[in-house]
Structure 1
Amino acid sequence: MENKKFKAMLVEETGERIFSRKITQRSLDELPQGEVLVKVLNSSLNYKDALSASGNKGVTRKFPHTPGIDAAGIVEQSVISDFKPGDKVIVTSYDLGMNTPGGFGEYIRVPGAWVVKLPDNLSIKESMVYGTAGFTAGMSVWYLSQIVKPDKGDILVTGATGGVGSLAVAILSKCGYSVTAVTGKMSEKQFLFDLGAKAVIDRNQASDTSGKPLLKARWAGVVDTVGGDILASAVKSTDQYGVVTCCGNAASPDLPLNVFPFILRGVSLIGIDSQNCPMDTRVQIWEKLAGDWKLSDMDSISKTISLDELDQNIELILKGQQKGRVVVDLAL
C-alpha cells in the first residue's frame, strides 16, 4: 500500500524565492512516519494555507510541500488503540500543512495526539466549514464567554467578513450576544446582517488615531482578528472588566497601547493560540461547535471547491477578496 498514488497539491521551489504549485500525484511512501493514516475527504482554505502555497518561509520551510492546515476524513490505518479504521476524524493545527504534508492531498499521516474524533451531530464537511477558522472563533467565544455574558452589552468583531470573523459573528449571535461587525467591505453588510450582526461599521470608524490613552467605553467584549490600531482602539473602548481576544495581525503585529485600559477598567486581553490548544480544551470546543453553538445554515457562509480550483481561490484570499469559508472537496 505504501506505493499507492493519490492526488495532491504540490508546491515546489524552482529557484531562489521562486515557487510553483500544481495538482499532481504523490505516493503514500512520501508521507512522514506517523501513527494514524487518514483518507482526507474535505479540507478548507485559510490565509496560512495561501501563504504556504506561495512559498512563505515563515510558514513552511521545507519544499516540495503539500499545504492544508485542516483535514477531515476517515482513518485508514492506525497503530494506536485510540483510533481504528473507519473512524471519522478531524485534524487541524499543530504542524499540519506547515512542514507536515497537509489536507490539500487525499491522504495525511500524523501523530495520534493531533487527531480528534468527529463529534456526533457534525458531518465531515461541516467540520471543515469550521476548520481552523471556526475553531479559532470558537476559542475566542469560549474565553470571552467565561467572563462576559450576553446581558453585559455589545460585542465588537473585527475583520468580520473573513473566516474567523464571520464565524465569530455567527456563533456569538447564536449565543444571544448583540454583535457589532467591523469590515472594510461595506458592500457585504447584508452578509453580516444575515450572520446575525445587529450593526455593521466601516473599519475606519473602528480605528482611533487621536492618541488618547482611553476612549469612551462602548464594548462589553471584543473578538479581534486583525491587530494593529484597530485592536488598540478596541481595547481602549472596552468597558469595565470587559474581555478582548486577539488572534491575528493582518493590519499590523504592532500594538500602540498603554496600560490604562488594564489598570483603570480591568480589561483583559487574551491571546488565542489555536495551533497549540491543549487537547482537552480542543475537544470541548469541538463539542460546543457541534452542539449548542452549531450554526443552522452552514452552506450560507461557505462555498465548496475542488483541488483544481484551489489556485484561483488562493489568489483571492491573498488579495483580501474572499469572504466566509472555502471548503475543499477532495472527491471532486
Structure 2
Amino acid sequence: MDTFKAIVVKEEQEQIVYGLEDVNFGNLSDGEVLIKVSYSSINYKDMLAVQKDGGVIRNYPMIPGIDLSGTVVQTTDDRYTEGQKVIVTGFALGMSHTGGFAEYARVPGDWIVPLPANLSLKDAMVFGTAGFTAALSILALEDKGMDIENNPSILVTGSTGGVGSIALQILSKIGYKNISALVRKEHQIEVATSLGATETIFTEELGKQNKPLKKQRFDFVLDTVGGEIASVLIPQISYGGSMSMCGNAGGIKLTSTVLPFILRGINILGIDSVNVPIENRGHIWGKIANTWNISQTTLINEISLLELPDTIEKIKNGRHLGRTIIKF
C-alpha cells in the first residue's frame, strides 16, 4: 500500500481547513513503531485542533487525533513485536506529531502502552483520552480522602460529555452512592441518571459567585469544564474537600478569594493526561481494563472518518453526548 486515508488539517489563506485525504508514509512523523490504527476517539481537544487559534496545532499540515489503538506492523524497538496490540494517548500525538485520525500512525516506542488482557482495541478507545483523564481525576480525589465508606457528596460537571460520562459510570460501578451530575438541558437528566448519577443539578441551581464562602454543599467535585462553573463551585466545597480540574470548555479564567483555601482547607487538583510518565500508565490502564471497566455500558457512537466533521460540530456547539469513536 503506497497511500492510505487520513484527516489532514491545513492553513490556507489564513484560514484553517480540514478533510479526508490520501497520504503516504512519508507524511507521518518519525518514530520507532508503525501502527495500523483500528480505532481512535474524538475529544474536545480534537475539536480545538481543527479551529483557527485553537491552540492545539501550530504547524501545518498536520494529522490530528490525540489517541489511538491498533496493531504494530513494523518496529525497530525490541520492546514491541509485529502483531502486538497497543494504545497511544497524549504526549504530542495529534498536536506536533501526526496523530490517530489516519489508517496508520508512526510513534516513539516510549509513548506506547501494551493493550491490557481484558480490553479490546475498541474498548480501549471507548475510554481513550477521556477515560484515562476520568481515571486520573478519580485517583487524585481518592488520594485526597474520597472514600466509599464515608459516603461523600460528589459532583461531576460536564456530566454527559466524554470525561464526565465515564467518570459517572466508574464512580457508580465502584460503589459511590451520592453522585450528583451537573446538567444544562432537560434531555441530559435521563442520560446522566442512566450513567449512574443519583441526583441531577442544573447549572443555574448553583447560584452566583457573590460570596467568598457559601453553604458547604459538595465534599468532592470532579470538574471537567473550568471557567465560571468552577469559580462558582469553589465556595461551596465542604471543609477539607477537593476539586479536580481537567478541562476548559467553560473558559480558562478562574475567579476566587483565598478564603475557601485558608478557612476550609480545600484543595484544587490539576489533572494532566498528556504527559503522565509512561511508567505510570500501565497501572492506570490496568484498573480501566479490570475493576473500573465500564466499556460495555458506556454511551458510545461509532463513526467513520467521513463522518468526523458532523461530530466536531456537535462538540463545538455543546450538543455532543458520551463518547464517539472512529473505526478504521
Q: How does 1:245-256 map to 2 (within 5 A)?
A: 245-256=244-255
Q: Give the C-alpha shift of residue 48 in structure 1.
A: 1.1
1:308 and 2:306 correspond: yes
Amino acid at match of 1:54: Q
Aligned partners of 1:296 and 1:102: how far apart in 2? 23
1:66 and 2:63 correspond: yes
Question: What is the aligned partner in structure 1 of residue 175 from structure 2?
Answer: 176
Aligned partners of 2:228 and 2:52: how far apart in 1? 28
Aligned partners of 2:30 and 2:255: how far apart in 1? 44
Q: Give the C-alpha shift of residue 121 in structure 1.
A: 0.6
Query: How well do the aligned residues superpose, as a CA RMSD in angstroms?
Result: 1.4
Q: Secondary structure at the match of 1:153?
A: coil
Residues 208, 230 of structure 1: 8 Å contact kept: no
Which of 3, 10, 14 pairs up with 1:5? 3
Amino acid at match of 1:129: V
Question: What is the aligned partner in structure 2 of residue 117 from structure 1?
Answer: 114
Residues 156, 180 of structure 1: 8 Å contact kept: yes
Aligned partners of 1:81 and 1:139: how far apart in 2? 29
Question: What is the aligned partner in structure 1 of residue 22 from structure 2?
Answer: 25
- Count of aligned residue pairs for this structure pair: 325
Structure 1, unmatched stretches of 5+, are none
Q: Secondary structure at the match of 2:94?
A: coil
Question: What is the aligned partner in structure 1 of residue 323 from structure 2?
Answer: 325
TM-score under structure 2 length normalisation: 0.95
Q: Give the C-alpha shift of residue 235 in structure 1.
A: 2.1
Q: How does 1:110-259 map to 2 (within 5 A)?
A: 110-146=107-143, 147-150=145-148, 151-177=150-176, 178-210=178-210, 212-259=211-258
Amino acid at match of 2:21: T
Q: Secondary structure at the match of 2:212?
A: coil
Q: Give the C-alpha shift of residue 186 in structure 1.
A: 2.5
Aligned partners of 1:186 and 1:267: how far apart in 2? 31
Q: Give the C-alpha shift of residue 70 in structure 1.
A: 1.0
Q: Give the C-alpha shift of residue 57 in structure 1.
A: 5.1
Q: How does 1:44-55 map to 2 (within 5 A)?
A: 44-55=41-52
Residues 245, 269 of structure 1: 8 Å contact kept: yes
Q: Secondary structure at the match of 1:304?
A: strand
Between 48-57 and 155-164, report the one with greater CA deviation. Answer: 48-57
Aligned partners of 1:305 and 1:110: how far apart in 2? 24
* Percent of aligned pairs with the same amino acid: 43
Residues 152, 220 of structure 1: 8 Å contact kept: no
Q: Secondary structure at the match of 1:236?
A: helix
Q: 1:85-138 CA deviation, whole Å, 9 max, x = no partner?
A: 111100010110112111110111111111111111111011101111111111
